[in-house]
Structure 1
């Protein structure tokens, strides 16, 4: 299956094209803003790198959050638009699940949500041990200690350093964003369903009148 994977949820913009397990192309750029301007050109460049026409794609996978409200909307909108134009399924992949794919065994994916909070989800060999959640750092640490039970652990994501004291022997990975290669692999395994953003909490920014953006 030819799958286009996209990530714009965090501090990078990442695009990959996979044919089964074979990576045909992968591009990634670190950025905190500007995803909207870079995503389409990066996707076009990656398709050219792969030597694949957009019309040959069979599925699109995109991270749906949690993460940057603006960034995840960019990726979801692009994926929906392209999927509609090509009449192919578009599959949402949680950013915490994509981060956790960086490691095997017991993995805690944690994103710094600011306000002394973390987005957290714990996995064991790719299977979730809890639903994605937004928690105060202390509560997240207690939840992790409960699930980890002193076992070997990998912490992944921008929130990993905030949990380091809870798991002093843990391996730590802090990628800028989700790897679109993992997004594509995960999307290929999922049942196609309507894609929608996963916010977990209201945005920090407000429009005039106190409305959410």
Structure 2
């Protein structure tokens, strides 16, 4: 299966195209904003590098959050539009799951949600030990201690350093974003379903009158 993977949820724009387990092309750029302007040109470049036409794609995978509200919407909208144009499935992948896929064993994916909170999900050998959640730092540290029980652990994501004291000796990794190669692999392995953003809390910004954007 030829799959296009996309990530725009965090502080990077990442694109990859895979054929089965083979990575045909991959590109990633660190950026806090500007995903909307860079995503389409990056996809075109990666497809050209892979030597593929868009009609050869069989599936699209995109991270759906949690993360930047603007960024994740860029990726979801692009994946939906391209999937519709090509009449192929567009599949959502959680950002925490995609981060955790970069390591084996016991992995805690943690994204700094600001306001002394973390987006957290813990996995063991690819299996989720908890659903993705947004938690106060103290609660997140206690949940992590409960699930890890002192075992060797990888902490990954922008929130990983905030949990380092609660998991002494953990392997701490802070990539700018999710690796689109893992997004594509995860998307290829699951059944297609509705592609919807994963919001674990309301946006900080408000429109006039107190409405969410």
Verify same fold: TM over 0.5: yes
Please give the per-residue CA displacement for 1:108-140, whole angstroms capped at 9, x wherever unaligned: 000000000000000000000000000000000
Task: Indicate the residue corresponding to 1:99 in structure 2.
Answer: 99
Structure 1 runs not aligned, ≥5 long: none
Indicate whether 1:74 and 2:49 are aligned: no
Please give the per-residue CA displacement for 1:46-103, whole angstroms capped at 9, x wherever unaligned: 0001000000000000000000000000000000000000000010000000000010
Mapping 1:61-210, distance limit 5 Å: 61-210=61-210
How far 1:7 moved relative to its partner? 0.1
CA distance in 2, matches of 1:101, 1:134: 20
CA distance in 2, matches of 1:99, 1:57: 24
Aligned with 1:14: secondary structure?
A: strand
Please give the per-residue CA displacement for 1:132-174, whole angstroms capped at 9, x wherever unaligned: 0000000000000000000000000000000000011100110
Query: CA RMSD of the aligned region, Å?
Result: 0.4
TM superposition outliers: structure 1 runs of 4+ over 4 Å = none
Task: Indicate the residue corresponding to 1:31 in structure 2.
Answer: 31
CA distance in 2, matches of 1:173, 1:127: 20
CA distance in 2, matches of 1:199, 1:95: 11
Aligned with 2:108: secondary structure?
A: strand
Q: TM-score under structure 2 normalisation?
A: 1.00
CA distance in 2, matches of 1:120, 1:186: 19
How far 1:190 moved relative to its partner? 0.7
CA distance in 1, matches of 2:67, 2:209: 24
Please give the per-residue CA displacement for 1:169-197, whole angstroms capped at 9, x wherever unaligned: 10011000000000000000011001100
